[in-house]
């Protein structure tokens, strides 16, 4: 199990109903974590449409989750 | 009659000329030399005039007033040379059947004279040296100095770099308005704008280039006129077109920088991919309610692209747009101004902060995030190996008019309405609000083999 914090951005924050949460998770990758959270919060957006940032840097969804990671899931935003 | 005089103006003589039995009103305006201006005591004035031009322009103004306000007679005399305190510098008399016209006409004439006549004034002060004043009351395009326009920013940027720049702004809406105003007034020398939309009343609260009296007009035309008036020293070209796969490369090539002020992912990704293909830098911004983001893509620097972190092109239908989640002018103003500032920095330095990091700002909480951009090894898009995909089932309002099509407005309808047209032999053009839902529906129909379906690009807002 890894202790992590997850922050949501834009549409995801609205769907999650919280801005951030601290979790203990057994998952290997950020992609797996998102799929879990998608189910938990009923996110509309599938994993291939999401960007993930870890400790203020963009990461790839197949990267392995680091202990203590500060994770932000960022959906595409198009308003203008 | 308009006259320029070196001798004192005789009001009795002028009024005598204006006598007219049809007239119910004479309104006279006299402009006098006063003893102060901007805190300094003035003892006398000297007017210099570019006679031939002033005479012609003065006649033109009186002619305009005569027609606009149904005047029977109108006279104006303007002094030049040395005038003393209390002298009449300008005299206007307007005669009409009704007082309202006469009042309005004199006001109109003096305002236009101040704005359009090439007349300079030198003020002689009681205790200081005399000087020619640059006075907004006496300006005309004839003697604007470009350097004066940029005076207050000259310590911050190199005007030459900005003036030589060629940029394309895609979209003249919520982000486009603040971006265009900032770029134009900063003096970006060549600005191309591409925008297909018309102005609607619900645009104006967040798009301050437009006002209620131009509802229904083309955004690109109104924006160009407004911006040209704001800064007469730059070149602006408007293109009343929708950016698509067939024209994107033509529009971006030869530019130093592209600004993405669009409101949908399809165009954002198209523009992004095309910029990497042709190696042209792009400053992109988007908003969602109170949050905004700004990122600069520089294909000539190793800093990654959208394809480095996103496996597929996201679907607009899944994330919604301003119609769905709302938009506030103040938020667009903040994010658009940041985008413009990043563009100006890029034009100055060939790089900026958002090349390395994407900037996220929540205008409500005043919180920000800076996320370091990621470059995937061997990313095809970063290397310029991008295929610009042609979508050929979207039609514009103009194209629709010449295709003898059946028009189906699905805004108030269920998706299933299209099943009524499965055996239609003519083309079927589907129209929704913004062209996003209709595109999804048409894509689905075409995947099922029904090739008669087309989607109206831009939706009902483009009609």
User: Positive or negative CA dihedral for B296, B297, B301, B304?
Assistant: positive
State how many domains chain A has. Answer: 1
Chain A residues within an 8 Å CB radius of B268: 78
Does the pLDDT at position B421 exceed 60? yes
Say if A80 falls within a structural domain.
no
- The enclosing domain of A50 has a CATH number of 3.10.20.30
With b for 16 or more beta-carbon neighbours within 10 A and e for fewer, the B38-68 pattern comes to: eeeebebbebebeeeebbebbeebbeebbee
Does the pLDDT at position B40 exceed 80? no
Q: Are B295 and A79 in contact (CB under 8 A)?
A: no
Question: What stretch(es) of chain B map to CATH 3.40.50.720?
Answer: 150-372
Nearest to A77 among B293, B304, B376 (CB): B293
Chain A residues within an 8 Å CB radius of B263: 78-80
Question: What stretch(es) of chain B map to CATH 3.90.1170.40?
Answer: 2-138
Place of tokens 């099943």: B419
Contact B372 A72 (CB under 8 A): no
Q: Name the pLDDT band for B50 (thresholds 50, 70, 90).
A: confident
Supply the mean pLDDT for chain B.
Answer: 90
Q: Which residue of A has its CA nearest to B177?
A: A80
Say if A27 falls within a structural domain.
yes
Q: Say what the pLDDT of residue B64 is.
A: 94
Of B154, B199, B146, B203, whose CA–CA distance to B174 is shortest? Answer: B203
Q: What is the pLDDT of residues B380-410, one digit of tens each?
A: 999 999 888 766 788 888 888 888 889 999 9
Q: What is the pLDDT of residues B93-150, one digit of tens each?
A: 999 999 999 999 999 999 999 888 877 777 777 776 665 554 444 443 344 578 889 9
Distance from CA of B290 to the nearest CA of A (A): 9
Residue B197 CA to its chain's centroid (Å): 14
Chain A residues within an 8 Å CB radius of B374: 57-60
Nearest to A78 among B291, B312, B321 (CB): B321
Does the pLDDT at position B42 exceed 90? no
CATH architecture of B150-372: 3-Layer(aba) Sandwich (3.40)
Nearest to B285 among A48, A60, A80 (CB): A80
Q: Phi and psi at residue B157, in whole multiples of 5°?
A: -135, 165
Question: What stretch(es) of chain B map to CATH 3.40.250.10?
Answer: 394-462
Query: Which of B311, B315, B435 best tests the A interface by mutation, with the highest count of A CBs <10 A?
Result: B311
Q: Say what the pLDDT of residue A49 is.
A: 87
Domain that holds residue A12: 2-74
Contact A58 B372 (CB under 8 A): yes
Q: Which of residues 35-54 of A touch B (CB under 8 A)?
A: 44-45, 48-53
Q: What is the pLDDT of residues B255-295, one digit of tens each?
A: 999 999 999 998 999 999 999 999 999 999 999 999 999 99
Q: What is the pLDDT of residues A17-51, one digit of tens each?
A: 999 999 999 999 999 999 999 999 999 888 988 99
Count of residues in chain B: 463
Flag whether residue A72 sits within 8 Å of chain B, measured between CB atoms.
Answer: yes
Q: Quickly name the fold that domain B2-138 has.
A: Aldehyde Oxidoreductase; domain 3 (3.90.1170)
Chain A residues within an 8 Å CB radius of B292: 77
The percent of residues in chain B predicted with pLDDT above 70, rounded, is 94
Contact B321 A79 (CB under 8 A): yes
Nearest to A80 among B262, B314, B320 (CB): B262
Q: Are B152 and B64 in contact (CB under 8 A)?
A: no
Distance from CA of B109 to the nearest CA of A (A): 42
Q: Which residue of B has its CA nearest to A49?
A: B314
Flag whether residue A59 sits within 8 Å of chain B, measured between CB atoms.
Answer: yes
Contact B176 A80 (CB under 8 A): yes
Q: Say what the pLDDT of residue B272 is.
A: 96
ipTM of this predicted structure: 0.89
Distance from CA of B346 to the nearest CA of A (A): 21
Q: What is the pLDDT of residues B9-30, one digit of tens each?
A: 999 999 999 998 999 999 999 9
Report the distance separating Cα B385 and Cα B87, nearest Å. Answer: 75
Contact A80 B173 (CB under 8 A): yes
Q: Are B455 and B435 in contact (CB under 8 A)?
A: yes
Classify domain B394-462 by CATH number: 3.40.250.10
Report the distance separating Cα B41 and Cα B126, nearest Å. Answer: 6
Contact B319 A77 (CB under 8 A): yes
Q: Say what the pLDDT of residue B136 is.
A: 43
Distance from CA of B347 to the nearest CA of A (A): 23
Q: Name the pLDDT band for B451 (thresholds 50, 70, 90).
A: confident
Nearest to A79 among B314, B325, B372 (CB): B325
Q: Which residue of B has its CA nearest to A75?
A: B319
Structure tokens at B211: 């006002």
Distance from CA of B314 to the nearest CA of A (A): 5
Say if A50 falls within a structural domain.
yes
Q: Which helix (H) or strand (E) holds A12?
A: helix A10-16
Please state, in angstroms and as integers, the Cα–Cα distance from residue B9 to each residue in A30, B78, B122, following that order. Answer: 85, 8, 20
Count of residues in chain A: 80
Nearest to B265 among A44, A51, A76 (CB): A76
Q: Say what the pLDDT of residue B444 is.
A: 85
Report the distance separating Cα A45 and Cα B60, nearest Å. Answer: 63
Say if A9 falls within a structural domain.
yes
Q: Which residue of A has its CA nearest to B303?
A: A58
Q: What is the pLDDT of residues B216-231, one digit of tens each?
A: 999 999 999 999 889 8
């Amino acid at each position: 199990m890894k202790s992590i914090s997850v922050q949501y951005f834009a549409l995801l924050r609205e769907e999650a109903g919280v801005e951030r949460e601290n979790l203990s998770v057994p998952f290997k990758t950020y992609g797996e974590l998102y799929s879990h959270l998608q189910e938990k919060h009923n996110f509309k957006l599938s994993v291939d449409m999401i960007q993930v940032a870890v400790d203020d840097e963009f990461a790839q969804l197949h990267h392995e989750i680091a202990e203590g990671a500060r994770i932000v899931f960022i959906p595409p935003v198009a308003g203008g | 009659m308009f006259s320029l005089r070196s001798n004192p103006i005789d009001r009795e003589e002028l009024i005598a000329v204006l006598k007219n039995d049809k007239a119910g009103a004479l309104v006279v305006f006299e402009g006098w030399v006063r003893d102060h201006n901007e805190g300094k005591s003035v003892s006398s004035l000297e007017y210099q005039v570019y006679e031939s031009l002033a005479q012609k322009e003065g006649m033109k103004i009186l002619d305009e007033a005569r027609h606009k306000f149904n005047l029977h007679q109108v006279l104006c005399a303007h002094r030049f040379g040395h005038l003393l305190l209390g002298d009449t510098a300008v005299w206007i008399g307007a005669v009409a059947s009704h007082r309202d016209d006469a009042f309005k006409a004199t006001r109109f004439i003096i305002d236009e004279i101040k704005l359009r006549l090439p007349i300079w004034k030198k003020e002689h002060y009681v205790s200081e040296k005399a000087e020619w004043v640059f006075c907004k009351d006496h300006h005309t395009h004839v003697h604007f100095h470009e350097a004066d326009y940029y005076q207050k920013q000259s310590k911050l940027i190199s005007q030459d770099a900005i003036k030589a720049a060629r940029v394309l702004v895609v979209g003249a809406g919520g982000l486009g308005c603040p971006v265009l105003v900032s770029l134009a007034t900063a003096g970006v020398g060549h600005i191309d704008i591409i925008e297909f939309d018309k102005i609607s009343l619900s645009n104006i609260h967040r798009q301050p280039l437009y006002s209620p009296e131009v509802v229904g007009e083309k955004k690109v035309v109104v924006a160009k006129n407004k911006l040209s008036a704001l800064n007469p020293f730059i070149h602006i070209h408007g293109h009343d077109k929708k950016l698509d796969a067939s024209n994107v490369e033509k529009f971006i090539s030869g530019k130093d920088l592209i600004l993405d002020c669009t409101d949908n992912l399809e165009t954002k990704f198209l523009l992004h991919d095309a910029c990497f293909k042709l190696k042209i830098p792009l400053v992109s911004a988007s908003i969602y309610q109170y949050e905004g983001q700004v990122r600069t893509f520089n294909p000539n620097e190793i800093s990654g692209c959208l394809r480095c972190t996103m496996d597929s092109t996201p679907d607009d239908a899944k994330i919604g747009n301003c119609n769905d989640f709302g938009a506030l002018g103040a938020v667009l103003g903040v994010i658009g101004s940041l985008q413009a500032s990043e563009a100006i920095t890029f034009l100055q330095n060939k790089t900026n902060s958002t090349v390395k990091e994407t900037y996220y700002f929540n205008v409500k909480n005043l919180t920000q995030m800076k996320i370091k951009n990621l470059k995937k090894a061997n990313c095809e898009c970063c290397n310029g190996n991008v295929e610009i995909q042609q979508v050929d089932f979207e039609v514009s309002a103009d194209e629709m008019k010449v295709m003898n099509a059946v028009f189906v407005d699905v805004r108030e309808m269920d998706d299933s309405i299209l099943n009524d047209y499965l055996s239609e032999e003519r083309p079927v053009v589907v129209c929704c609000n913004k062209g996003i839902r209709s595109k999804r529906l048409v894509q689905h129909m075409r995947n099922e083999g029904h090739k008669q379906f087309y989607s109206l690009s831009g939706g009902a807002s483009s009609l």
